[in-house]
Structure 1
Amino acid sequence: VKHNFIGVVCEKQWQAVQAANRLKVAWKPGPALPPQASFYDDMRKQPSRDTLLVDSKDVEATLASAAQVVRSTYLHPYHMHGSVGASCGVADVKADSATVWSPTQGVYPQRDSCAMLLGMKPGQVKVIYTRGSGCYGINGADTVSYDAALMSQAVGRPVRVQLSRKDEMVHENFGLAFVVDQRVGLDRDGTIMAWDYEAWSPLRGGRPGHTLPGNQVTGFLAGMQPAAFVPRSPAPPPTGPLVNGQNVVPSYVTGTVDGASGGTGTVKSERMLAHVIQSPFWTGPLRSPNRLQNTFAHECMMDELATAAKADPVAYRLRHLRDPRLRNVVQAAAKAANWQPRPSPNPEPRTVTGTGTGTGTQNRSTQNPEPRVHSGRGIACVLYEGDNGYCAMVAEVDVHLDTGAVNVTRIVMALDSGPITNPDGLRNQAEGGALHGVSRALFEEVTWDHEKVTSLDWRTYRTFPVGFKVPKLDTVLINSMEAEACGAGETSITVTAAAIGNAIFDATGVRLRQVPFTPERVKAAISTN
């Protein structure tokens, strides 16, 4: 026992499981969790730390003079890493040294934070990386290593800790929920005049380090505190140069700060305000942290604007982009997908009838002998982190009008990550990111009640299910030999939800502004409209 950390150590794993289950521990109830049904509304009401990334100071006046103002709110839930294999760590702590075998993503931060927990100097701790389940952020890898280190120190012997499926999923550091409000003004020709963005999201916890062991559940229970949250409102004026590491600034504005343009677009009237609030859950980076959520809102909004302007979504994007490499990936993806210019939604969507097997997630009933299925296509693009990899994606979907099930039939991607040294590796990163993005767009959402997380396993936290048809994947790699090398592991996943959402709208004429696009949510939207 150390503060509120309690561990059971036995010779055999099953003995430890049984002993832990028999423990009688009186826990003091924590604050009640906010109701999930009203959580997005509640986020707007919390004290926040505000940051103004861009402000041309003329947005309100420009919107007032616009021929048309398009408004939207986009919602994104908490996601979890949901690693297929639950995390495992081993530690051997002696009086004056410690060795930890860990699947951490950062051995040096893990060393520093373990040293703090154990009361040692960093030089006394050795962390050896061992392979673990895929993560792209903070799953249970770090906290299980803390578990092993603390218990090994207590008993003076090597200790191996294997998390259960429930422990892995309930106590990991979730990817962030988001609320994004946007207002965009158009002139009489449909050209964008002003773009206003305001978003609310929880504070994102940092990775392990000598000051941050309290951002993992074990560190907190052992007496360490998470990073302090300090509200700040109103936001101070933006200062340059523009840093768009969270993709808060959409691709279609100039991103001008202190007179210098750091963006990729043409729209000069711009304001981007971000509110960060406290989170009721452990949080941390999850593949494309913040960038996926912001890009989902930006790129779906761009399609809404194209519809308002009665313009083709590809042509409308090119009309407002000035970065030649971003324009290039948009054109390359559209060409590879055989994109036919026209506005969305499709006035004559291709209708498929069948024998009742259905498409999409899990509907295989034969109750409806001729299911109605509409097909659509959607596009999205991004310059990841504002300077770290270009990607455009075309998604093609079939939407089952009777059940709301969505089947992603094809994904076409174009990537520019600078000079290509390993095309197979680059293609693998793009395809893996896209499939991960399909899972997050169609299925994934953390759930909870008033006292605990209720996403405990693969039934209560749905992911890409076994048997779900994998879309056809086509990838165009652009080899920019004169450019600097940049990222690829998180570019394609960043645009996937937006491309799918735009494709659903193209097929049905129904705009979904909340992830995931579950059959229930799609069917309800179709029925309402």
Structure 2
Amino acid sequence: MSMPVEPRALRDALLARSGALLIVRNPTGVAKPAPGQPGSASDYVPDVPDIFIAVLDDGRVCAFNGHVDLGTGIRTALAQIVAEELETDVRRLMMVLGHTEGTPNQGPTIASASIQISAVPLRRAAAQAREHLIGLAAQHWGCSRDGLQAREDAVIDAQHGRRLSYGELLRGRKDVLYLADEVPLKPSSAYRIVGQAAARVDIPAKATGRLTFVHDVRVPGMRHGRVVRPPYHGRDSGGFVGRSLLEVDAGSVAALPGHVQVVVDGDFVGVVADREEQAEAAMRALKVRWAPPPSAPDLSDLAQALRAHPSTPRPLLQVGDVQAALPGAAKVLRNTYVWPYQMHGSIGPSCAVAAWQDGRLTVWSGTQNPHMLRTDLDRLLEVGEQHIEIVRMEASGCYGRNCADDVCADAAILSRAVGAPVRVQLTRAQEHLWEPKGTAQLMETVGAIDHAGQLLAYDIAIRYPSNDAPLLALLLTGRIPAEPRALEMGDRTAVPPYRYPHLTTLCHDTPPIVRSSWLRGVSALPNSFAHDSMVDELCEAAGADRLAFRLRHLDDLRAIELLQATARRAGWVAGATGSRGEAGDDGLLHGRGIAYARYIHSKFPGFGAAWGAWVADLTVDPRTGKIRVERVTYGQDTGMVVNPSGVRHQIHGNIVQSLSRVLLERVAFDETGVASREWGAYPILGFCDLPEIDLVLMDRQDQPPMGAGESASVPSAAAIANALFDATGLRFRAPPFTPDVVLKALRAQAEQAEAASCAAI
């Protein structure tokens, strides 16, 4: 496959080109991470300006954004925003994302922030380019600009029936403008492109097999590498990390074909061969001796393990006095909710290609953090960030941090060692064992209602082990110490959305137990699981309708309207209940659950992304414990929707992934660390188990766009747990709700009922 234009070459050509209008900004470094937040601090500032928009006299338009498309359709939505403001054809627009040498450093692609935050300067740049082109036309015609309009890659003077294309206006010119703080933007009422369904611009290349995925990158002289990981699977802190390798017998692979080379640096071990199957064979044949790792922490009782782990309490919010209010409550509930360790579950193992030449490193990568990865690779190789280029390609899934960055470091070490470009792809077992897991979480809660059936008090204490996950090669080579670092990441959606006169939220900042990183929804999904499960229990204690109870304890009008719209679509019947443990004529238990949340992300108090509401309908087979989700009615208020089709696709995928996490997914551990090596040990939801999904998108085109990527996951677990109670009459507070877990609870329920019946006799 032919390689696309290199980002550095494209940038340099645009800066040198005549017949162009460039909207740029002075080069800047990325903002340093806030205390307690993840990220790599760097003082590096490029020596060339950042380009946001380039309009060329040959009719092409290029737009640049530092975030990447993780399969969410951001490339299409950003292109719509640019095309709208610039009055150009989306099909003519080249959208460049994430390359370190070709796009602004706007930080990692996280927290559903691409449209909400990083698209803002891009939109301004496009509008600034439009206004400049209108000014050029007015100057050319010697008229006022008031009667001129930009439309279809041209400036039009309707009164005099004349037009000038952008190319004509720019011929022979070289206009470089710095991004303005204030520029006239189109009102949403004038939008013709934003808000309209648009086909994904990335799909044709994928469907026709053009080069888009990093797994398909081939460069001249490229060799193939594989890595041999240590036996302390998925653990990245402790004195043994980076110090456990005892011996590598390079002679054990010397006779294998492919000119096999062995590379060792601390606990980093890799092999390089001419062909991929030769590298695979060498990896399996290489004799390596490791010191036995110390036993991994016992995670069989996850709640106890989280309680016992050292932590630092961090109060977040206090309203009223919970402890003083509890004695006068009509009902007090004390519940513990436990969230498991889970995987990102990338469908394909991570892959990267690195080329070290003349003191420069180029890496073709599927990372979601290109600029942060560049900083980490400089820490690893100490060559200077100005000598490292990350060319961002499509990858095979992520939704958080998988091994995409780790495999880039593997390829970089091997390429420098053997003096040739090296492609590294992990095995499925390596991806499963070593990807930074979505971390476990413990929520200990107290909730109460008053004698009027109103919410009275709520206390939540959150334990969320850190998700820092430094670049694995930095630890294996000993470049950085393998010391645990507690981040402040348990506070996403830590405050419930409902009105409590007395409220306390506390976060226990906890160092990692196993290697962890952020996963979709971060701590917001487990926190919302606790919040809305507790509200459902308090509603039951109050004898109220579950929808009405939530509505009367919400102050956010947009939340109220969203819940009402979602319930209407679902056909909510006030006061209706499900089987509550009594099977119907079909032998199944039927239940319906409701939940609401808004994803609040970033350091507390943070800021909000989209609002989301679930109504889930499910059945439970009491003979097997198997849950089948029959229908999900989901409503979302995203503010302005750039591409309705893209948002719908994103929500559908998020709902499916969330159901998989809630019903099936849990990492297994043994005495050495992670034990889930393949899909058989870590099942995910299959096509046959997909429910009917009905979406309600609120019409808020006059409001700012909110992040849409993660919000649908946040109320998911609570909605399923609440529906499960409605079906079985039992509360489940520790996902995943696998058939064995449900069946055990149903049998215990039946035994208790039988014992009570016997006692009554």
TM-score (norm 2): 0.61
Alpha-carbon shift at residue 420 of structure 1 (Å): 1.7
Give the structure 1 partner of residue 479 of structure 2: 224
Give the whole-Å Cα distance in 1 for the aligned partners of 2:459 and 2:577: 23
Give the whole-Å Cα distance in 1 for the aligned partners of 2:354 and 2:617: 48
1:425 aligns with 2:425: no
Give the structure 1 partner of residue 665 of structure 2: 444
- Does the 8 A contact of 1:307 with 1:344 survive in 2? no
Bigger CA drift: 494-503 or 396-405?
494-503
Give the whole-Å Cα distance in 2 for the aligned partners of 1:321 and 1:433: 25
Give the whole-Å Cα distance in 2 for the aligned partners of 1:195 and 1:37: 29
- State which of 415, 429, 435 in structure 2 corresponds to 1:152: 415
1:408 aligns with 2:641: no
- Does the 8 A contact of 1:88 with 1:162 survive in 2? yes
Bigger CA drift: 66-75 or 152-161?
66-75
Give the whole-Å Cα distance in 2 for the aligned partners of 1:155 and 1:329: 58
One-letter code aligned to 1:202: P
Q: Matched residue of 2:538: which SS?
A: helix
Alpha-carbon shift at residue 277 of structure 1 (Å): 2.0
Deviations, residues 334-358 of structure 1 (Å, cap 9, x unaligned): 11000111165556967252xxxxx
Within 5 Å, which residues of 2 pair with 1:83-94? 83-94=346-357
> Which blocks of at least 5 consecutive residues in structure 2 are unaligned?
1-263, 601-606, 750-761
Deviations, residues 284-341 of structure 1 (Å, cap 9, x unaligned): 0111111111111111111111111111111111111000011111111111000111
Give the structure 2 partner of residue 269 of structure 1: 502
Q: Matched residue of 1:481: which SS?
A: coil
1:316 aligns with 2:537: no
Q: Matched residue of 2:683: which SS?
A: coil
Q: Matched residue of 1:36: which SS?
A: coil
Give the whole-Å Cα distance in 2 for the aligned partners of 1:63 and 1:165: 51
Alpha-carbon shift at residue 225 of structure 1 (Å): 3.0
Alpha-carbon shift at residue 430 of structure 1 (Å): 1.1
Deviations, residues 114-167 of structure 1 (Å, cap 9, x unaligned): 122111110100000111111111111110111000100111100000110000
**CA 199–343 in structure 1, closer or farther in 2 if over 3 Å, else same:** farther
One-letter code aligned to 1:515: P
Bigger CA drift: 491-500 or 397-406?
491-500
- Does the 8 A contact of 1:50 with 1:273 survive in 2? yes
Deviations, residues 339-390 of structure 1 (Å, cap 9, x unaligned): 111165556967252xxxxxxxxxxxxxxxxxx2111110111111152110
1:490 aligns with 2:753: no
- Does the 8 A contact of 1:406 with 1:519 survive in 2? yes
Give the whole-Å Cα distance in 1 for the aligned partners of 2:374 and 2:581: 60
Deviations, residues 200-253 of structure 1 (Å, cap 9, x unaligned): 1211116xxxxxxxx132221022337864679xx9xxxxxxx9960111111x
- State which of 356, 371, 376 in structure 1 corresponds to 2:591: 376
- State which of 718, 725, 741 in structure 2 corresponds to 1:505: 725
Superposed CA RMSD in Å reads: 2.0
Give the structure 2 partner of residue 133 of structure 1: 396
Q: Matched residue of 1:190: which SS?
A: coil
- Does the 8 A contact of 1:47 with 1:231 survive in 2? no
Alpha-carbon shift at residue 462 of structure 1 (Å): 1.1
Give the whole-Å Cα distance in 1 for the aligned partners of 2:634 and 2:280: 46
Give the whole-Å Cα distance in 2 for the aligned partners of 1:86 and 1:95: 30
**CA 327–46 in structure 1, closer or farther in 2 if over 3 Å, else same:** same
Give the whole-Å Cα distance in 1 for the aligned partners of 2:274 and 2:348: 23
1:280 aligns with 2:535: no
One-letter code aligned to 2:492: Q
Give the structure 1 partner of residue 617 of structure 2: 396
One-letter code aligned to 2:608: D
Alpha-carbon shift at residue 24 of structure 1 (Å): 2.5
Give the whole-Å Cα distance in 1 for the aligned partners of 2:332 and 2:692: 37
- State which of 238, 247, 265 in structure 1 corresponds to 2:493: 247
Give the structure 1 partner of residue 466 of structure 2: 203
1:475 aligns with 2:475: no
* Identity rate, percent: 37
Deviations, residues 367-422 of structure 1 (Å, cap 9, x unaligned): xxxxx211111011111115211010100001101110000000001110101221
Alpha-carbon shift at residue 272 of structure 1 (Å): 0.6
Give the whole-Å Cα distance in 2 for the aligned partners of 1:44 and 1:348: 33
**CA 80–12 in structure 1, closer or farther in 2 if over 3 Å, else same:** same
Q: Matched residue of 2:629: which SS?
A: strand
Bigger CA drift: 146-155 or 47-56?
47-56
- Does the 8 A contact of 1:204 with 1:283 survive in 2? yes
Give the whole-Å Cα distance in 2 for the aligned partners of 1:74 and 1:6: 40
- Does the 8 A contact of 1:337 with 1:394 survive in 2? yes
Bigger CA drift: 429-438 or 26-35?
26-35
Give the structure 2 partner of residue 335 of structure 1: 568
Runs of 4+ that moved beyond 4 A: 226-232, 343-350
Aligned residues: 480
One-letter code aligned to 2:431: E
Deviations, residues 175-204 of structure 1 (Å, cap 9, x unaligned): 010111110121112211111001212111
Alpha-carbon shift at residue 66 of structure 1 (Å): 1.3
- State which of 280, 300, 311 in structure 2 corresponds to 1:17: 280
Give the structure 2 partner of residue 368 of structure 1: none
Give the whole-Å Cα distance in 2 for the aligned partners of 1:295 and 1:17: 44
User: Relative contact order (alpha carbons < 8 A, sep ≥ 6): 1 or 2 greater?
Assistant: 1
Give the whole-Å Cα distance in 2 for the aligned partners of 1:100 and 1:489: 27
Deviations, residues 29-51 of structure 1 (Å, cap 9, x unaligned): 33311223223212102210221
One-letter code aligned to 1:379: I
Give the structure 1 partner of residue 317 of structure 2: 54
- Does the 8 A contact of 2:354 with 2:423 survive in 1? yes
Give the whole-Å Cα distance in 2 for the aligned partners of 1:427 and 1:491: 12
**CA 150–304 in structure 1, closer or farther in 2 if over 3 Å, else same:** same
TM-score (norm 1): 0.87
Give the whole-Å Cα distance in 1 for the aligned partners of 2:724 and 2:704: 36
Give the whole-Å Cα distance in 2 for the aligned partners of 1:496 and 1:468: 20
Give the structure 1 partner of residue 103 of structure 2: none
Give the whole-Å Cα distance in 1 for the aligned partners of 2:490 and 2:548: 25
- Does the 8 A contact of 2:484 with 2:512 survive in 1? no
Alpha-carbon shift at residue 113 of structure 1 (Å): 1.1
Q: Matched residue of 2:395: which SS?
A: coil
Give the whole-Å Cα distance in 2 for the aligned partners of 1:423 and 1:390: 16
Give the structure 2 partner of residue 356 of structure 1: none
**CA 444–244 in structure 1, closer or farther in 2 if over 3 Å, else same:** closer
Q: Matched residue of 1:332: which SS?
A: helix
One-letter code aligned to 2:663: L
Bigger CA drift: 125-134 or 11-20?
11-20
- Does the 8 A contact of 1:50 with 1:231 survive in 2? no
Give the whole-Å Cα distance in 2 for the aligned partners of 1:173 and 1:338: 41
One-letter code aligned to 1:225: I
**CA 170–137 in structure 1, closer or farther in 2 if over 3 Å, else same:** same
Give the structure 1 partner of residue 337 of structure 2: 74
Deviations, residues 466-502 of structure 1 (Å, cap 9, x unaligned): x533100100000213322111111111111111111
Alpha-carbon shift at residue 21 of structure 1 (Å): 2.0
Q: Matched residue of 1:117: which SS?
A: helix
Give the structure 1 partner of residue 681 of structure 2: 460
Give the whole-Å Cα distance in 1 for the aligned partners of 2:556 and 2:327: 29
One-letter code aligned to 1:203: S
